[in-house]
Amino acid sequence: MPDEDVAPERVVASGADDVERAAEAALRPRRLAEFVGQRVVRDQLELVLHAAIGRGRAPDHLLLSGPPGLGKTTLAMIIAAELGTSVRVTSGPAIQHAGDLAAVLSSLEEGEVLFLDEIHRLARPAEELLYVAMEDFRVDVVVGKGPGANAIGLTLPPFTVVGATTRAGLLPAPLRDRFGFTGHLEFYDPDELRQVLVRSAGLLGVELEVAAAVEIAGRSRGTPRIANRLLRRVRDWAQVRGDGRLDLDAARAALEVYEVDVLGLDRLDRAVLGALCERFGGGPVGLTTLAVAVGEEPETVETVAEPFLVREGLMGRTPRGRVATPRAYEHLGLATPDAGQTLFD
């Protein structure tokens, strides 16, 4: 089962493909002071980093966790910038063998940051190598093969691992314990997303009216990545069908074309919610039945549509199946069914 929502054809997907990640790099805040929102994590990090700088030492290993698109990679780069050091980037899936990790570790320079993205996907042997490297700043490199093979212990200079994960719960406890600090990123509120949008518009060299920024922010699902993507779509609309200005009318018209509604629901989200309310009387209904009703795979409904519907309090998951909340009816402009009149009473 895919563990996150990376559907590039979906304008409100929280994940991103490689092309989009490249475009995102230009919009990344470079320093902590430029990073919008996440006041708690920013505060905590500032202390950790400045204390380490003051002592002239590499800080503890740092773990960043939270859903896709909230700024983990951005913060990892910022950490290196604040420390005035360089960053080496790799990821769990990129490390196939323990030897790959040993090679990276043994080439680290003093004080460098090693950014390990998707650290929960690291293979077990690499993980074990990492424990030792993080704790004792040592790596055992095996030289040769067969009976003549020799393990040579290499001492590593002090360095800092910055790990990122969307699934902190999947990290084995021994690995989690080797991080001196864990920052949990939260969804952004609309006002923070508005600030992200204004900043991005400036970098893209387009003029974004405040009302338009507010409108886009409200539909961005608490996620800067989605906000930036919607901004690009609004810019397209303004350029092709509007007069180039990113005002409220342009924002609304563009988001209507892309079928992103005022809560940030897209066509699939609304189809699922609509089927649940109108065809199944608000449930409870099983996932498979619901998926058939909207012509999708159960997996798609479960991983792509449901998490946000549940988070928004539009839908609930119960042991007997999916249920719609009163807010779902309200959002779809439907009358709430009378408690006494449902099929199951």
Annotated catalytic residue, options 166, 223, 300, 325: 166
The string of DSSP codes covering 218-246 is: HTSTT-HHHHHHHHHHHHHHHHHTS-S-B
Of residues 36 through 55, those in contact with ligand ATP by CB under 6 A are 36-38
- The yes or no reply on residue 65 touching ligand ATP (CB under 6 A) is no
Choice from 38, 65, 73, 325 touching Mg ion (CB under 5 A): 73
Q: Which partner from the list Mg ion, ligand ATP, none does 268 bind, CB cut-off 5 to 8 Å by kind?
A: none
Give catalytic status of residue 72 as yes or no: yes
Residues annotated within a binding site: 27-28, 69, 72-74, 135-137, 178, 188, 225, 317, 322
What binding mask, one character per residue, do residues 195-234 give for ligand ATP by CB under 6 A, x or -? -x---------------------------xx--x------
- Least separation, in Å, of the C-beta of 78 and ligand ATP? 9
Q: CB–CB of 233/240 below 8 Å?
A: no
- The nearest distance, CB 73 to ligand ATP, in angstroms, is 3
The CA-atom distances, in angstroms, between 293 and each of 46, 298, 300, 324 are: 50, 10, 13, 15
Q: Does 65 bind Mg ion (CB under 5 A)?
A: no
Please tell me which residue in 194, 219, 221, 225 is annotated as part of the active site: 225
For 96, the enclosing helix (H) or strand (E) is none
Question: Which of 249, 208, 256 shows the shortest CA–CA distance to 231?
Answer: 208
Closest CA to 165 of 243, 236, 68: 68
325 binds Mg ion (CB under 5 A): no
- Closest to 131 (Cα-Cα) out of 118, 140, 142, 121: 140
Q: Whose CB is nearest to Mg ion?
A: 73
Q: Which lies closer to ligand ATP via its Cβ, residue 97 or residue 311?
A: 311
Task: Report if residue 35 touches ligand ATP, rule: CB under 6 A.
Answer: yes
222 versus 224: smaller Cβ distance to ligand ATP: 224
* Helix boundaries (H) for the chain: 18-25, 39-55, 72-83, 98-106, 124-136, 173-177, 190-204, 210-218, 224-240, 248-257, 267-274, 287-294, 298-300, 306-311, 326-332
In 3D space, the residue among 67, 74, 78, 82 whose CA is nearest the CA of residue 185 turns out to be: 67
Q: Could you list the residues that contact Mg ion (CB under 5 A)?
A: 72-73
Q: Which residues in this chain contact ligand ATP in the complex, by CB under 6 A?
A: 15-16, 24, 27-29, 35-38, 68-74, 166, 196, 224-225, 228
